[in-house]
Amino acid sequence: MSFNLPSVNQDDRKVPINLRQSGPTPVEMLIYTRIRKSPYWQLSHEAGCWRASVYNRTYHPRGYVRPEDGGAMVEYQSLVNDVTLWNVAVERQIQVKGPDAEAFVDYVITRDATRIPPMRARYVILCNEAGGILNDPVLLRIAEDEFWFSLSDSDIMFWLQGVNVGRRFDVEINEIDVAPVQIQGPKSVDLMADLVGAAARDIPPYGLLSAAVGGCDVIVSQTGFTGEKGYEIYLRDATLHAETMWNAVLEAGKKHNLAVIAPAHHRRIAAGILSWGQDMDFETLPFQVNLGYQVPRQKTADYIGKQALEVARSAVEAGSPPYSQTLVGLKFGGKPIDDYAPDFWLIGETAQDDPVGYVTSPWYSPELSSNIAMGFVPVPLSALGTELWVHLPEQYAETAGEPVRAEVVEMPFRPSVNPNQREILKSQGLDAAV
């Protein structure tokens, strides 16, 4: 069978996912002015960044420890044992401010914005009229009349401004000079207390605190991309103050064994945290990717995508979902996957048949002593315990050219220190899928 023209059925997509298996295809990244450098870019380079990707049209550090020194798995040990600093300025901040800020935000997100108090944040999704997910940011409510969308990887500012053409809502919508870093790991609370005082210990999950780090004005949130204890520091006027704040964090972090690392996708996979563009996109419905809880039944106000999402939910509940593939958790064999996958590796129903699905986010979990992944499979093959087969590249395969056995398992793969809303609903026995 040829994997360069995969036969996975994607008839329900207008633009199929590229499933050609091209491998690493190493190239040198061009650094030039068409792609942004964040205020922390040079600081990341000085900290040892040796590779990067592009996220929100901004260079994004994706590796500090080189492969010959242990690579990403060494960075993982710093995260789960100590505390880490990440350059996540690619999470561009889009401010919605004005008398109608709450009404506007409520119209563009699926959750109920009126239930978010000032100085609190929420994980939210924005959908198009067909119900496809356009972005899944953390939404910060700074004041009654001010919200910040901390973006994942899509150009939502233009869409938000387009929604408000004609000034239906009395708001201003702009990107602002605010650049976040993440502080993640079990020692993060102690480091944050050293940086901003004892008040850091009292910030609840998704809570916000106005503070100063190194004399620079910041907003601190108890959020992150790991499921570990963690925070984000949103630096105001970041273009002016990036070095001052970054160096203050490094200095305070010395006694906590702070390491500068790349965003820990190995840990976010274990926590079941999705990555836009990798695990979902604008053609993905929330119900396909375990985000049904983001479409509350009790929200009576209109919002973009509401009609399509309610129709989709009814179809799902009737046993006829309007999609052929759904996202599942997988546990599977092979040699430990210790780096980013260059392709969407293919999934078969048996070891011999043509592929029927594809892996989106794989990595090795030291805690589970197994490779784990998220992946899309046909809905009839999504039940827990279903046996499947993953076609790994030669470097990870047990036997070259032969797939490894996989099993559909629950997500998250391990409990989170900071459980997300889906985990909380699940622990309460509520149906988070629909």
Which pLDDT value is given to residue 415? Answer: 76
Which pLDDT value is given to residue 83? Answer: 98
Residues 247 and 299 in one domain: no
The answer to whether residue 395 is domain-embedded is yes
Cα–Cα distance measured from residue 290 to residue 171, given in angstroms and rounded to the nearest whole number: 32
Which pLDDT value is given to residue 432? Answer: 46
Residues 346 and 413 in one domain: yes
Last residue of a domain, one of 256, 272, 307: 256
Residues 339 and 416 in one domain: yes
pLDDT greater than 60 at residue 412:
yes
Residues 233 and 308 in one domain: no
CATH number at residue 199: 3.30.1360.120
The answer to whether residue 29 is domain-embedded is no
211-219 mean pLDDT: 98
Which pLDDT value is given to residue 5? Answer: 76
Which pLDDT value is given to residue 251? Answer: 98
Cα–Cα distance measured from residue 241 to residue 217, given in angstroms and rounded to the nearest whole number: 9
The answer to whether residue 145 is domain-embedded is no
Domain extent, residue 219, equals 178-256
CA dihedral sign, ordered 95, 98, 104, 105 = positive
218-245 mean pLDDT: 96
Where are any strands of DSSP class E within 306-354? 325-332, 346-348
Residues 355 and 417 in one domain: yes
Domain tally, the chain? 2
pLDDT band at 183; cut points 50, 70, 90: very high
Residues 316 and 382 in one domain: yes
Residues 303 and 229 in one domain: no
CA dihedral sign, ordered 347, 55, 371, 291 = negative
Residues 316 and 414 in one domain: yes
Which pLDDT value is given to residue 6? Answer: 81
Cα–Cα distance measured from residue 288 to residue 56, given in angstroms and rounded to the nearest whole number: 24
38-53 mean pLDDT: 98
Where are any strands of DSSP class E within 56-110? 58-63, 83-87, 93-97
pLDDT band at 434; cut points 50, 70, 90: very low
Q: Are 258 and 250 in contact (CB under 8 A)?
A: yes
The answer to whether residue 90 is domain-embedded is no
pLDDT tens for residues 329-340?
A: 999 999 999 999
Last residue of a domain, one of 214, 239, 256: 256
Residues 290 and 196 in one domain: no
Where are any strands of DSSP class E within 340-425? 346-348, 355-365, 370-378, 387-391, 404-409
% of the chain beyond a pLDDT of 70:
95
Phi, psi of 249 (to 5 degrees): -65, -45
The answer to whether residue 115 is domain-embedded is no
pLDDT tens for residues 84-142?
A: 999 999 999 999 999 999 999 999 999 999 999 999 999 999 999 999 999 999 999 99
Residues 302 and 219 in one domain: no
Cα–Cα distance measured from residue 106 to residue 121, given in angstroms and rounded to the nearest whole number: 14
Nearest CA to 239 among 6, 40, 379? 40
pLDDT greater than 90 at residue 424:
no
pLDDT tens for residues 345-371?
A: 999 999 998 999 999 999 999 999 999
% of the chain beyond a pLDDT of 90:
92
- Name the 3-class secondary structure at 246: helix
Query: H or E segment at 259?
Result: strand 258-260
What secondary structure letter does DSSP report for 289?
G
Q: Are 292 and 432 in contact (CB under 8 A)?
A: yes
Q: Are 127 and 81 in contact (CB under 8 A)?
A: no
CA dihedral sign, ordered 54, 56, 59, 64 = negative
Where are any strands of DSSP class E within 261-332? 325-332
Amino acid letter for position 299? K
Cα–Cα distance measured from residue 53 to residue 50, given in angstroms and rounded to the nearest whole number: 11
Last residue of a domain, one of 256, 277, 297: 256
pLDDT greater than 50 at residue 49:
yes
71-95 mean pLDDT: 97
Which pLDDT value is given to residue 429? Answer: 55
pLDDT tens for residues 238-293?
A: 999 999 999 999 999 999 999 999 999 999 999 999 999 999 999 999 999 999 99
pLDDT tens for residues 292-329?
A: 999 999 999 999 999 999 999 999 999 999 999 999 99
The answer to whether residue 149 is domain-embedded is no
Cα–Cα distance measured from residue 216 to residue 249, given in angstroms and rounded to the nearest whole number: 12
